């Protein structure tokens, strides 16, 4: 199968390409950059098209020329960066999905997977959050993702495109997201190992739902491969558990007691994280396509720390 991965060099994309290549898919990456966030042998087997998602002709050409069967649309500006660069985020996130959907229509793409977010929901909502709760996001990032989902469902209803979206919580990884307000869930481990200290830009009790990277990648494959007749909706939530900076401090100190943790809440990012739901209703993903997390907090922390220590030791040598 020919798969187009927009934003395929980023945190999630450079990891998602690995199982796709391993199972025999031909992966074409469409990204602004030229180096993957996570290097791999599998990356070297992908075709890289350096391009801008705001350039519609370039996206259409990639889809048609490469005879793409499925698209994973990951290219975007993330939450914290979007607040600082609003025009850029609006253009890339809005034009990016519009152009990619249009390219999918023209190229008769069979399946379209969109990487959405819990930031589509607004603040003050009950927990666990019902999946059909109103979506009135607080952040510009969330606004662009709601619009992306609505546009994808429009393409499904109007043109029959098999559009599917996952609303991810904060994805924890050994080297995690860079531009998102939820980056502390990964950053704390890296900084603890590298520098022996970490300052949270949130309160100790700011709560956020998380999922571990391996489970997030698994969910992309599950939703992509699910038979269409199993789907009861087009957008799904997934979630493993909620976590606070205070809980992460406990987990980190249990493994590295010397680490110094401090708190210095930054108002914009604190308000953003506070506005997100603490726990999501993801039973539809569990029932329709077998979503199930395999990492709890301890297993996740052990794997993140072990991976980072190995990586940092090998770069020291
Ligand atoms: N990481 C998370 O915790 C998380 C949570 C929820 C949703 N998501 C969504 O998942 C997707 C991937 O997230 P990520 O953490 O890998 O982000 P990332 O920033 O690491 O990757 C995004 C990629 O998109 C590319 N890109 C940006 N603008 C582009 C443009 N104009 N043209 C082509 N490529 C462009 C970047 O170069 C980068 O490689 C995003 O859509 C994000 O909104 C991520």
Q: Write out pLDDT tens, residues 169-192.
A: 999 999 887 778 899 999 999 999
pLDDT over threshold 70, residue 153? yes
Contact (Cβ atoms closer than 8 angstroms) between residue 2 and residue 69: yes
Closest by CA to 47, choosing from 60, 32, 64, 66, is 66
pLDDT, mean of residues 76-92:
94
pLDDT, mean of residues 155-178:
94
Told to judge if 121 belongs to the known catalytic residues of this protein, a careful annotator would answer: no
pLDDT, mean of residues 89-110:
98
pTM of the shown model: 0.94
d(CA 3, CA 28): 6
pLDDT confidence band for 277 (50 / 70 / 90): confident
pLDDT, mean of residues 213-242:
97
pLDDT for res 274: 87
pLDDT confidence band for 312 (50 / 70 / 90): confident
d(CA 81, CA 219): 25
d(CA 7, CA 50): 10
DSSP class of residue 92? I
Is the CB of residue 91 below 6 angstroms from any atom belonging to ligand 1? Answer: no
- On the CB side of 95, CA atoms within 13 Å amount to 14
pLDDT over threshold 70, residue 316? no
Lay out the sheet containing 2-6: strands in order across: 47-50, 26-31, 2-6, 70-73, 111-117, 162-168, 235-237
* Percent of the chain clearing pLDDT 70 (strictly above): 99
Q: Write out pLDDT tens, residues 106-139.
A: 999 999 999 999 999 988 888 888 999 999 998 9
pLDDT for res 317: 53
Radius of gyration of the chain (CA): 19
Q: Which position among 141, 155, 201, 236 bears the catalytic label?
A: 141
Phi, psi of 134 (to 5 degrees): -60, 145
Is the CB of residue 53 below 6 angstroms from any atom belonging to ligand 1? Answer: yes
Q: To test ligand 1's pocket by mutation, which of 34, 38, 177 has the most ligand atoms within 8 angstroms of CB?
A: 177
Closest by CA to 209, choosing from 254, 240, 178, is 240
- Complete domains list, the chain, with CATH: 2-171+210-237 (3.40.50.720), 172-209+240-277+294-316 (3.90.25.10)
For the chain, give the mean pLDDT: 95
Is the CB of residue 216 below 6 angstroms from any atom belonging to ligand 1? Answer: no
Contact (Cβ atoms closer than 8 angstroms) between residue 27 and residue 20: yes
Is the CB of residue 270 below 6 angstroms from any atom belonging to ligand 1? Answer: no
- Residue 123 CA to its chain's centroid (Å): 20
pLDDT for res 127: 81
d(CA 9, CA 101): 20
Angle between helices 140-159 and 96-106 (to 10 degrees): 20
Which ligand 1 atom sits closest to the C-alpha of 14?
16
Cβ count near 191 (within 10 Å): 17
pLDDT, mean of residues 78-107:
96
d(CA 89, CA 187): 23
Q: Write out pLDDT tens, residues 262-276.
A: 999 999 999 988 888
pLDDT over threshold 80, residue 250? yes
pLDDT for res 159: 98
Is the CB of residue 13 below 6 angstroms from any atom belonging to ligand 1? Answer: yes
pLDDT confidence band for 311 (50 / 70 / 90): confident
pLDDT for res 27: 98
Q: Which residue has the tokens 């005879």?
A: 67
pLDDT, mean of residues 32-57:
97
């Amino acid at each position: 199968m020919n798969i187009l991965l927009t934003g395929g060099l980023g945190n999630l994309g450079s990891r998602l390409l690995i199982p796709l290549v391993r199972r025999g898919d031909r992966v074409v990456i469409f990204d602004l950059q030229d180096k993957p966030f996570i290097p791999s042998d599998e990356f070297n087997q992908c075709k890289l098209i350096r391009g801008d998602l705001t350039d519609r002709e370039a996206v259409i050409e990639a889809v048609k020329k490469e005879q793409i069967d499925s698209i994973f649309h990951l290219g975007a500006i993330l939450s914290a960066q979007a607040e600082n660069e609003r025009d850029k985020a609006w253009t890339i996130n809005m034009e990016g999905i519009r152009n990619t959907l249009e390219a999918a229509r023209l190229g008769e793409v069979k399946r379209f997977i969109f990487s959405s977010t819990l930031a589509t929901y607004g603040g003050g909502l009950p927990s666990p959050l019902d999946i059909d709760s109103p979506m009135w996001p607080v952040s510009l990032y969330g606004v662009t993702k709601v619009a992306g989902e609505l546009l994808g469902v429009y393409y499904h209803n109007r043109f029959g495109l098999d559009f599917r979206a996952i609303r991810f919580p904060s994805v924890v990884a050994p080297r995690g997201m860079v531009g998102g307000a939820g980056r502390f869930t990964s950053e704390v481990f890296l900084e603890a190992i590298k520098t022996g200290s970490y300052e949270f830009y949130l309160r100790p009790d700011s709560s956020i739902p998380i999922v571990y990277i391996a489970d997030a990648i698994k969910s992309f494959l599950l939703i992509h491969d699910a038979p269409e007749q199993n789907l009861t909706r087009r957008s799904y939530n997934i979630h493993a558990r909620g976590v606070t900076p205070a809980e992460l401090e406990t987990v980190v100190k249990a493994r590295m007691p010397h680490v110094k943790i401090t708190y210095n809440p930054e108002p914009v990012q604190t308000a953003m994280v506070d506005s997100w739901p603490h726990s999501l209703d993801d039973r539809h993903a569990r029932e329709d396509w077998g979503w199930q997390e395999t990492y709890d907090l301890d297993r996740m922390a052990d794997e993140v720390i072990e991976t980072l220590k190995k990586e940092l030791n090998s770069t020291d040598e």
